[in-house]
Homo-oligomer: A and B are copies of this chain.
Amino acid sequence: MHTREACVAADRLDPLASIKNQFDLPPGVIYLDGNSLGVLPRTAAARAADVIGKEWGAGLIRSWNTAGWFDLPARLGDKLAGLIGAGKGEVVITDTTSLNIFKALAAALRIQQQARPGRRVILSERDNFPTDLYMIQGMIDLLQQGYEMRLIDDELPLEQALDDSVAVVLLSHVNYRSGQMHDMRAVTALAHERGALTIWDLAHAAGAVPVDLQGAKADFAVGCTYKYLNGGPGAPAFIWVAPRHTDNFWQPLTGWWGHQRPFDMTVAYEPAGGIRRYLCGTQPIVSLSLVECGLDIAHAAGIDEVRKKSLALGDLFIALVEERCAGHPLTLATPREHALRGSHVSFRHPNGFEVMQALIARGVIGDYREPEVLRFGLTPLYLGHADVWDAVEVLKDVLDTRAWDKPEFKHRAAVT
């Protein structure tokens, strides 16, 4: 398929090709950053106008009931459930991924405090997304109970790190930088064998790869809706708890939305039964409502078709970069093997930051992550094979002409 014509032909046979029309994409852009911020569903503008004009403006306070605002976290959670191998009533969409990590970690530690007291290690990965590691550190510092964070890396593999001092394992299913994917089922089984509970961060997995939380016997999962699920900038995140754990403990962010009868206005906190106890405060209804637009498209596409195309686009991208950009100092940072790969592909380049700025200036939008990593999200819902071809041609030209070597591409803004 290493001609543009072959790519165009592949797009013609693509069962997902028409899904692209469900998004508003800016002209002149090849968007390879859906792993950071997903694109705009066509239905979102009208949905927002409706929520703002009719539900807020006309319905006012009545909309908590009549527009179903109060049930929105659970109703949208049910809609997400099928994409991650969860059941109805097991997921809520609420707060942020960071906060949901805090809830899951607190609950998991408390369950272990009862079941296996004395375990004081929270295991994660050196290369995990920093907020996961930061939330662990905040929790350890807060509790002052002698917990410590242990990080797996090349020197300390999981098998060795996972000893009987480990209470909880917190891993990202798909790594934010390399795109490497853990075998959720195998890792969970190993953790359980060693007496640890698992928390899976699905930020780069939900909507991108098939996830089977129940099948993997996972314990907790969190993730975000604004990447592959196209829920909108900073849209509320989600949390899933295995039903066998849900009612064992609540979680310490005990706001009134997690109360069994929030409008009784009682003095004593009493956690709601089920996943609602993972709610805390009043949710941002406009942003939350828009999550549904992206979820509907994900369901229409089907996660298996998405995965199939994602792998095809990833294979194509890797092959084309290695073929067309040969001779440039690019190193693949993502596993080639399908079972080990999510839906983005990363290459290292010594001038990665500048190269990415030059690409963005030409309308090929990926992103850059320290150190040296160029990330390219390959999102099957709105990218085709010819888009991949065209993006690599721009990359080739940027490298061949050293177009990246200009002062304006060296400036680092707050967010890159």
Q: Mark A43-65, 1 if CB is under 8 A from B, else 0.
A: 01100110011011111111111
Residues of chain B lying within 8 A (CB to CB) of residue A57: 24, 26, 39-40, 45
**Quick check: A252 and B288 within 8 Å, CB to CB?**
no
Residues of chain B lying within 8 A (CB to CB) of residue A160: none
Copies of this chain present: 2
Distance between Cα atoms of A317 and B37 in the complex (Å): 50
- Closest Cβ–Cβ distance, residue A175 to chain B (whole Å): 12
Distance between Cα atoms of A278 and B313 in the complex (Å): 40
Give the residue name and chain of the B residue nearest to A44 (CB): B52
- Closest Cβ–Cβ distance, residue A126 to chain B (whole Å): 6
Chain A: number of interface residues, binned into ranges: 35 or more
Residues of chain B lying within 8 A (CB to CB) of residue A250: 138
**Quick check: B60 and A33 within 8 Å, CB to CB?**
yes
Distance between Cα atoms of A234 and B235 in the complex (Å): 13
Q: Mark A135-160, 1 if CB is under 8 A from B, else 0.
A: 10111011111000001000000000
Residues of chain B lying within 8 A (CB to CB) of residue A69: 233-234, 415
Which of B95, B106, B413 is within 8 Å of A95, CB to CB? Answer: B95
Considering the complex, which residues of chain A in the window 112-130 have a beta carbon less than 8 Å from any beta carbon of chain B? 126, 129-130
Q: Mark A345-382, 1 if CB is under 8 A from B, else 0.
A: 00000000000000010000101011000000000000
Distance between Cα atoms of A138 and B250 in the complex (Å): 9
The reply on A326 being an interface residue by CB < 8 A is no
Give the residue name and chain of the B residue nearest to A291 (CB): B284
**Quick check: B126 and A267 within 8 Å, CB to CB?**
yes
Question: Which of A210-218, A239-247, A253-261 lies at the interface?
Answer: A253-261
Q: Mark A215-239, 1 if CB is under 8 A from B, else 0.
A: 0000000001010000011111100
Which of B65, B96, B369 is within 8 Å of A265, CB to CB? Answer: B369
- Closest Cβ–Cβ distance, residue A98 to chain B (whole Å): 3
- Closest Cβ–Cβ distance, residue A222 to chain B (whole Å): 10
Residues of chain B lying within 8 A (CB to CB) of residue A268: 137
With A232-B52, A253-B102, A415-B263 known as contacts, the answer to whether A60 contacts B45 (CB < 8 A) is no
- Closest Cβ–Cβ distance, residue A40 to chain B (whole Å): 4
**Quick check: B234 and A98 within 8 Å, CB to CB?**
no
- Closest Cβ–Cβ distance, residue A314 to chain B (whole Å): 20
**Quick check: B286 and A370 within 8 Å, CB to CB?**
no
Give the residue name and chain of the B residue nearest to A230 (CB): B56
Which of B281, B288, B365 is within 8 Å of A97, CB to CB? Answer: B281
Give the residue name and chain of the B residue nearest to A258 (CB): B134
The reply on A266 being an interface residue by CB < 8 A is yes
Residues of chain B lying within 8 A (CB to CB) of residue A24: 53, 57
Residues of chain B lying within 8 A (CB to CB) of residue A56: 37, 40, 44, 232-233
Considering the complex, which residues of chain A in the window 251-296 have a beta carbon less than 8 Å from any beta carbon of chain B? 251-259, 262-269, 280-288, 290
**Quick check: B288 and A234 within 8 Å, CB to CB?**
yes
**Quick check: A33 and B52 within 8 Å, CB to CB?**
no
The reply on A414 being an interface residue by CB < 8 A is yes
Known pairs A60-B365, A284-B288 / 16 extra A-B pairs, C-beta < 8 Å: A24-B53, A33-B60, A37-B64, A45-B52, A96-B280, A97-B281, A98-B280, A102-B252, A131-B256, A133-B267, A143-B144, A233-B286, A234-B282, A263-B414, A286-B290, A287-B287
Listed from nearest, the 3 A-B pairs whose CB atoms lie closest are A96-B281, A98-B255, A138-B254
